[in-house]
Structure 1
């Protein structure tokens, strides 16, 4: 799921109980990078319980942490810890869909109706390409769900959702725009449909296909799609969401939850090391041929920096980097690489919702890519 914390920050500027973590727990490995250490501490000081980063560049590998792994403790964030990656899942899903295109089993201009008859209104006008680049106009099912700080949000913590159920909730609402392809609006609904289409094409779930086509070949040993399993199996920081009760907003530990609510749009768990390996393999042509990687880098509308499950941004020194970011509510992450793969950075944090950490994260990314 794409980052939504800006709204949460606005709604929770006066959290009743936050144990502000110390930013003195940075734990670098291999080489000491004082600029990176300071930027990571700034991320935590701005609005995170804890954070971790892995930077790979010409100087080697630098891994660091800041803050704490769990509120009320002094336990350091595990430097190789797992976390929920949110919408970075979409880049994996899109990679599998494009592999199927490369095999001639799917076409980017195939319609939703052709693969999933009756699933969405006007499905004959919405293409696979438009699902992948968020130009379908389909209403985002996430907007139909209670969200923090509403206490009702916790009622669905252990609920198992199906993609079909979420899509039905979405299409009960009018489209964000018409006709499909004429504009851009981020919609997790499109990726639930892509997950269903992958299953129709292959006879296997999108999770099985990602495991078979990406995770195993790249030996991403700490990456998994948990389905309905609520736990993070390896070392990990705890994640929190703000919940309002009796006029007070408090952070609630939301580390364990049923990730089926995010599905193909955001259920994955991974590590900084694995995500850096994945983006290098993708940009290096190990997963897709050049013409399909070019499709991935082509924006759906001219003014957006988002293609087919892949995003990009321009750093302060003018270097363009490719990857994605993700929000799993209790976890936020960023994974980007230069096109030549010489510099790769993955950042993950557990927000405390005092303030939006985006600018501090951007400063860290600029330090890593431009410093």
Structure 2
């Protein structure tokens, strides 16, 4: 799972455990969805005039838990940055049966990349970096062939650098003994970016720079180090100063080694034959600038609205960010930004996964509607039901209600195959 978890793609591609990890039953019962208003009479009419169907959104969130197999799901729809609906279903803590808080925090995985790439483009706007600068100039000796890899190629995954999460170091889920060891101690391992980049450097590249596309978390570890070298501050400090504090994102954090989630949250689990294994606490240095962030649906919709609305970047650089590289094909990847097709048209944002958590946040290009969700995948024994529930959640959220047409298959970007 971890080899794909940081890829930030469709739910099953991110979270599906191996067959040996399946078998335990999911949480019993589904908590009532909490929405912004009632769903009867005049209130329902007001929801409709605002362009959202609360009943359909409630059902999509419930469907992600039963039959979708998640232990918890929470989501939010905003219109031009103002919340018009929020909801949650499932159980936040299987040990206590606590209900899910729709305003809770969660790990955002690869959505972190969009924050980091925004900082890089701000530095470009300030003349401190250029997108076509070679990595060897920006971070000498960091990666092989750095003279021929550009900053742009790191951001859009066309560098060819090996994805460190595809190394056997992160392949413990294939071995029950290694998985148990990881659950007991391995998830608290403190990594440096240099250690993880060295893991990637031990493998040959996928292709020559610019000659293909392969989603690689290594790219963003290198980018994080470039930010530090150029600014004299960690990438976390620059994200906090330039984005988090500027937008008032009071519940967004970019931790270094802190293993906890600092506030109310739904727990993340592995579904194992012996019972649920709580994986909420991990050392986020395993993901670093590629996926260490923590946030809420409210903060994420505020962020994506500001970004695509032009508040964080000059328009020419926002256009660069949204220019998807031809090599990415159906993945439709720009500079730390994904374009995803929905029945209501294309949306922009990013998806992410890290053990126990799956996240996505998207907005349409005119920032009329935003949708963010966190899914704690659990029982993946019925993958068709999980896939269908996830597609319904994405399409219903993006459209603010039932899609106008039947959802097209495979609209979420998929990661490159592991191995």
The TM-score normalised by the length of structure 2 is: 0.83
Q: Which structure 2 residues correspond to residues 80-229 of structure 1 after superposition, within 5 A?
A: 80-144=103-167, 145-148=170-173, 150=175, 151=179, 152-154=181-183, 155-177=185-207, 179-229=208-258
Deviation at 1:153, TM superposition (A): 3.1
Q: Does 1:6 align with 2:13?
A: yes
Deviation at 1:359, TM superposition (A): 3.5
Deviation at 1:19, TM superposition (A): 3.6
Unaligned runs of 5+ in 1: none
- Supply the distance in 1 between the matched residues of 2:320 and 2:14 (Cα, whole angstroms): 32
Deviation at 1:9, TM superposition (A): 2.4
SS in 1 for 2:360: strand
SS in 1 for 2:335: coil
Pick from 29, 33, 37 the counterpart of residue 58 of structure 2. 37
1:338-360 CA-partner distances (Å, limit 9, x unpaired): 11111110010111042454442
1:21-56 CA-partner distances (Å, limit 9, x unpaired): 423421112354110111111111212000000111
Q: Is the 2:135–2:150 Cα contact (8 Å) retained in structure 1?
A: yes
SS in 2 for 1:333: strand
Q: Which structure 2 residues correspond to residues 173-322 of structure 1 after superposition, within 5 A?
A: 173-177=203-207, 179-242=208-271, 248=273, 250-302=275-327, 303=329, 304-317=331-344, 319-322=345-348
Deviation at 1:200, TM superposition (A): 0.8
Deviation at 1:369, TM superposition (A): 2.8
- Supply the distance in 2 between the matched residues of 1:255 and 1:14 (Cα, whole angstroms): 17
The TM-score normalised by the length of structure 1 is: 0.93
- Supply the distance in 2 between the matched residues of 1:358 and 1:202 (Cα, whole angstroms): 42
1:81–1:98 distance in 2 versus 1, CA, 3 Å: same
- Supply the distance in 2 between the matched residues of 1:183 and 1:87 (Cα, whole angstroms): 21
- Supply the distance in 2 between the matched residues of 1:7 and 1:106 (Cα, whole angstroms): 33
- Supply the distance in 2 between the matched residues of 1:283 and 1:56 (Cα, whole angstroms): 14
Q: Is the 2:347–2:364 Cα contact (8 Å) retained in structure 1?
A: yes
Q: Which residue in 2 is equivalent to 1:352?
A: 378
SS in 2 for 1:316: coil
Deviation at 1:7, TM superposition (A): 7.0
1:217–1:103 distance in 2 versus 1, CA, 3 Å: same
Q: Which runs of 4+ in 1 moved over 6 A?
A: none
| CA root-mean-square deviation | 1.9
1:137-172 CA-partner distances (Å, limit 9, x unpaired): 111111122343541433421111000010000010
SS in 1 for 2:349: strand
Pick from 15, 21, 44 the counterpart of residue 22 of structure 2. 15
- Supply the distance in 2 between the matched residues of 1:29 and 1:279 (Cα, whole angstroms): 21
Would you tell me which structure has more helix in proportion to its own residues? 2
- Supply the distance in 2 between the matched residues of 1:122 and 1:250 (Cα, whole angstroms): 46
Deviation at 1:251, TM superposition (A): 2.9
Deviation at 1:362, TM superposition (A): 2.4
1:276–1:13 distance in 2 versus 1, CA, 3 Å: farther
Q: Is the 2:8–2:14 Cα contact (8 Å) retained in structure 1?
A: no
Unaligned runs of 5+ in 2: 1-5, 40-53, 402-419
Q: Which structure 2 residues correspond to residues 38-77 of structure 1 after superposition, within 5 A?
A: 38-45=59-66, 46-57=68-79, 61-77=84-100
Q: Which residue in 2 is equivalent to 1:343?
A: 369
1:8–1:93 distance in 2 versus 1, CA, 3 Å: closer
